[in-house]
Amino acid sequence: MPPFAPLQLLDDPIEWAAFSRLLDGASGLWESQVLVRGMRCAACSVAVEDALRSVPGVHSAAVSASGQRATVRWSAQTVMPSRWMQAVLTTGYHVLPANDAFAANARKLERRAALWRCLVAGLCMMQVMMYAYPAYTARPGDLSGEMESLLRWASWVLTLPVVFFSCGPFFRSAWQDVLQRRIGMDLPVALGIAVTFAVSTAGTFEPSGTFGREVYFDSLTMFVFFLLSGRWLELRLRDRTAGALEAVMNRLPDAAERQTPEGTFERVAVRRLGVGDLLRVQPGESFAADGVVEQGTSSVDEALLTGESLPLRRVVGASVLAGSFNLSATLRVRVQRVAADTRFAHIVALMEAASATKPTLARIADRLAKPFLLAVLLSAAGAALWWWDRDPERALMVAVSVLVVTCPCALSLATPAAMLAAAGRLAGGGILVRRLQALEALAQVDTVVFDKTGTLTQDRLGVQNVQTRPGVSRDQALAWAAALSRHSRHPVARALAESAMDQRADWVCSGVTESPGQGLSGQVAPRASAALADGASGLRVVRLGSAEFCAVAPLANAQSHAMLSDAQGWVATFFFAESLRSDAQACVDELQTAGLEVRVLSGDSQAAVDRVAAALGLKQARGGCSPDDKLQALRDLQAQGRQVAMVGDGLNDAPVLAGAQVSFALGQAVALAQAQADFVVLGAALLPVAHTVLLARRTMAVVRQNLVWALGYNAVCVPLAVAGYLPAWAAGLGMAGSSLLVVGNALRLSRTAPPDAAPPQAAAAH
C-alpha cells in the first residue's frame, strides 16, 4: 500500500533535519523522533513497536505510551520516513514529527474532542438517571407497563449519542485491535459497553424476553462518563508532566530572518540556514542557531539551556545559543553552528532519548500487558459461564463488570508516569535525564564519588590577587590583560578574560603573538567610543606571561601567577588559585545528611586532593589516579557491595562514568563524558546532584505507592466483580479512578521544589 500522500512530503531529505539527526553518514543511519497519538497503555506501545520493527530498513524502535513519543532508527538507503510512518497509521494510531508545527495544535484538538465526548456522556447520563429513578423507587403498582416501557425507550434514545459518539474512541481502538489480531486495553472496555447496550436494548424491544426484567442504560452511561472523565483528566495531567521536557524541545523557532545578498531580510525555514548567514533577531524571539553577535547589545535568557537563572548580557563578539531568548533589543547574529551541531540540538537529543527509554519496571509491565489482558477476557468469559445457569441476565452484567474493572491502565501507568514527572521536574531545573531507568538505580545509591578538577573545584583558575606598579589601577591592569587574553585559550588567559568582563570591552588588541608555554604579546589601545575613568589613553605594547617572557624579575616560591609588562617594565602580577565551587560544601553536606558516603577520585596530585578533601571535611580522597586507576577503584567499591554514583566532567572520566551504576556529567563536560553519563547538569552548580538523588528516592517511593495501589485495587475488585457485587457503573468508576489516582500521585513529583542548576550566587555573578 502506498504511503499516505502528506507523509510523502517528509521523504525530502531537507525535511529530515526537522525531526531527525544523522548517526552514521556512511550507512545512512538516521534517528527520528515522532509523536504517536492515540496510545493508551503498554499494549499500545508494544503494538506500535512491533509495527515499526517489521518495516525493512528500520533498525530499532522504542515507544513510550506515557510520553506519546517514539524513537526510530532507520537507514535512508533502504526505507523512507513515509514508509515506517505508514506502518504506524495501519495500527490505528496517528503519527507526527516530534517538533511539527501542528503537534501542539493536534494535542489541543484531542483534548477538546475528549471534553466534548465527556460532556455529551455527562448530559445524557443525567437525563437517563432521571428516567431510571422511578424504577428504583416505585412501589408495586405505581408504574404501569406503558409508563415503564416509555421510560425505557426514552433512556434508549438518550443512550444512542453516548454509544455512537462518546464511545467512538473505544470502538475504533478495539476494532483496530481485532484487525491487527492483538489485545489492547480498549478491547475489554468496548466489549463491556457493547454487551451492556445489547442486553439493555433487548430488554427494551422485548420486555417479556430473557433480558426484559431490567435495563442498564443508567449504568452504561454512568461508567462511560466516568471513563471519559478519567481519560480527559489523565490527558491533561500527562501534558503537564511532559510540559517541562517539551518547553525545552520546542524552543527553536520555525523560521528566522536571514539577510539576502541585496542587504534586505527575508524569513526562511530554520532548516535552510547555513553557517555564515547573518540573522536579525527581534526582542521576544528565540535564536535559531548558535552564533556570534555582530551588531547590537541585549539580554538573553538561557535558563533552560545552561541553568543560568538570570538574564545574561550579550554584546558585539559574544556568543549566543540556539533556543535561548532575546529579551531586550534587536541583534544581528552571524551563524556559526546549525541543526545537529548546535548545543540546543545536543540537549534535545539527550532529552528525546530519555523520553523514549523505558525503565525496567515499565518494560516488565509491557511484557505482562498482553497475557494480563488475555486473562481478563478469560476471567470475564468464565464468570459469565458460571452465572449463566443461575441468572443469564446477571451473567452478562457480571462479565461486563469483570471486563471493565480489571483493565490494567493503572498498572501500566504506575512507573512511566512517575518517571516522566520526575524527568520533567529535573529538566525545569537544568538537569537532563538521559536514561529513565537511571532514576531506579540512583534511588539505591549509597556512595557518591566525585572527580576533583572541574567538578568539586572550578573548571578554570580564578584571579585571587593583583599587584600593580604605582600609577596603574587594578582595573586598568586587568583591562589590558583581558584585551590580550581574548586571543588565547590558555587557562590563565581565560581566567584573566573572565575577571575583567566589564573592562575588556573598553580596549582592543591587535598584532597578537602567542609564544607557546611563555605568553602573549600585542598592542592594546582604547576604543574610540570608550570613556576611560582613569584618563589612560594611547597605544602601548604589552606582554603577558612568565617573568622571563615579560623581561622582569621572577618571584621566588610564589603561587601560580602571570606577569604583565610594557615598554617601561613591570606593570602587574596576577595571582591565581584553584577554588571550590560555591555550592560544593552544601552538596556534600546534603548527601551526607541523606546517609550517603562521599569520596574523591582525581588525577591531580595527592597533596592537591588532600587540600580539597580537608576543606570539604571528607576522609576518603585519592589522588594521582589514571583513568584505569579510577575504574579499578570503582570496581573495588562495587565488589564490596556498594551502589556507586560517579560525578565527573573530563575526558579521563568517561570510563568510570560508564562503569558506575549511575553517573553525572557537568554541563561543560566533553562530549564523550556526557555520552557516558545518565544525568547531565547544564549549569555550573553541584547542588543539583544532591537534589537529584533525593528526587530519585521520592520517585521510587511514588512508583511503589502506585504499584501497591494498582495491584491492591485489582486484588479487591476482581473477586467482587466475579461474585456479582460490583455493578458496571462502579467498575467504570473504579477503573477511571485508579488510573487518575496513579497519574495524580505521580504529578506530585512535578511540584517538588526545583533542583536549581545555577545557585543564586553563581547566577548573580553574571
Task: Give the CATH number of the domain where residue 296 resides.
Answer: 2.70.150.10
Under DSSP, is residue 133 helix (H, G, I), strand (E, B) or coil? helix
Under DSSP, is residue 583 helix (H, G, I), strand (E, B) or coil? coil
Domain-terminating residue out of 101, 120, 147: 101
Query: Residue 221 and residue 163: Cα distance in Å, rounded?
Result: 8
Give the pLDDT score at 162.
Answer: 92
CB contact burial 572-594 (16+ within 10 A = b; e otherwise): bbbbbebebbbbbbebbbbbbee
Question: Measured at the alpha carbon of residue 175, what is the angle toward residues 171 and 177, in degrees to the nearest 5?
Answer: 120
Query: Residue 730 and residue 738: Cα distance in Å, rounded?
Result: 12
Query: Residue 279 and residue 293: Cα distance in Å, rounded?
Result: 10
Whether the pLDDT of residue 309 is over 70: the answer is no
Query: Residue 229 and residue 231: Cα distance in Å, rounded?
Result: 5
Higher pLDDT, 503 or 436: 436
Whether the pLDDT of residue 420 is over 70: the answer is yes
DSSP symbol at 403: H
Query: Does 387 lie in the same domain as 307?
Result: no
In a domain, 179, yes or no: yes
Mean of pLDDT values over 188-216: 78
Query: Does 238 lie in the same domain as 360?
Result: yes
Q: How confident is the model at residue 22 (pLDDT cuts 50, 70, 90)?
A: confident
DSSP symbol at 452: I
Close Cβ partners of 659 (under 8 Å, ≥ 6 residues apart): 631, 634, 635, 646
Q: In what order do the strands lie in the sheet with 569-577?
A: 462-468, 569-577, 561-566, 540-545, 519-526, 507-515
Single-letter amino acid code for the residue at 697: R
What confidence tens digit (pLDDT) does each residue in 614-635 have?
889 998 888 888 777 888 888 8
Query: Residue 653 and residue 597: Cα distance in Å, rounded?
Result: 20
What confidence tens digit (pLDDT) does each residue in 660-697 have?
888 888 766 555 456 667 888 877 788 889 999 999 99
Domain-terminating residue out of 68, 101, 134: 101
Q: How confident is the model at residue 294 (pLDDT cuts 50, 70, 90)?
A: very high
Sign of CA dihedral 131, 132, 138, 142: positive
Query: Residue 92 and residue 97: Cα distance in Å, rounded?
Result: 17
Which residue range(s) make up the domain with 84? Answer: 5-101
Mean of pLDDT values over 94-112: 68
Tell me what the pLDDT averaged over the chain comes to: 78
Minimal CA–CA distance to 323: which of 349, 297, 295? 349
Cell (9 digits) for 589: 553536606
In a domain, 443, yes or no: no
Q: For residues 525 and 507, is the Cβ–Cβ distance under 8 A? A: yes
Q: In what order do the strands lie in the sheet with 325-326?
A: 312-314, 298-301, 325-326
Cell (9 digits) for 137: 423507587
Minimal CA–CA distance to 348: which of 241, 248, 240? 248
Name 191's bridge partners.
none
Q: How many domains does the chain have?
A: 4
E-only strand ranges, 443-552: 447-450, 462-468, 507-515, 519-526, 540-545
Cell (9 digits) for 488: 588565547
Q: For residues 226 and 732, is the Cβ–Cβ distance under 8 A? A: yes
DSSP symbol at 139: P
Torsion of CA 547, 549, 552, 555, to 10 degrees: 10
Query: Does 223 lie in the same domain as 260?
Result: no
What confidence tens digit (pLDDT) does each residue in 716-760 have?
887 888 777 777 667 666 766 777 777 778 777 776 554 444 443
Which CATH number do you get for residue 560?
3.40.1110.10
Q: How confident is the model at residue 447 (pLDDT cuts 50, 70, 90)?
A: very high
The share of the chain scoring above pLDDT 70, in percent, equals: 78
Q: For residues 331 and 314, is the Cβ–Cβ distance under 8 A? A: yes
Catalytically active residues, by annotation = 451
Mean of pLDDT values over 314-328: 86
Torsion of CA 390, 391, 397, 399, to 10 degrees: 30
Q: How confident is the model at residue 470 (pLDDT cuts 50, 70, 90)?
A: very high
Give the pLDDT score at 412.
Answer: 63
What confidence tens digit (pLDDT) does each residue in 635-655 have?
899 889 899 998 887 656 667
Query: Does 382 lie in the same domain as 321?
Result: no
Q: For residues 152 and 213, is the Cβ–Cβ distance under 8 A? A: no
Under DSSP, is residue 514 helix (H, G, I), strand (E, B) or coil? strand
Q: In which residue are the cell numbers 541553568 written?
A: 307
Query: Does 519 lie in the same domain as 394?
Result: no
In a domain, 117, yes or no: yes
In a domain, 90, yes or no: yes
Give the pLDDT score at 534.
Answer: 41
Q: For residues 673 and 464, is the Cβ–Cβ distance under 8 A? A: no
Domain-terminating residue out of 80, 101, 122: 101
Give the pLDDT score at 649.
Answer: 74
Query: Does 226 lie in the same domain as 139?
Result: yes
Query: Does 193 lie in the same domain as 279?
Result: no
Query: Does 237 lie in the same domain as 378?
Result: yes
DSSP symbol at 504: G
DSSP symbol at 163: I
How many CB atoms sit inside 10 A of residue 639's CB? 8
Query: Does 230 lie in the same domain as 257?
Result: no
Which CATH number do you get for residue 38?
3.30.70.100
Query: Does 318 lie in the same domain as 197?
Result: no
Q: For residues 191 and 173, is the Cβ–Cβ distance under 8 A? A: no
Least confident of 42-56, 435-449, 667-681: 667-681
Whether the pLDDT of residue 292 is over 90: the answer is yes
Rg (CA), the chain: 33
Cell (9 digits) for 734: 473504579
Query: Does 386 lie in the same domain as 497?
Result: no
Mean of pLDDT values over 459-475: 84
Query: Does 150 lie in the same domain as 135?
Result: yes
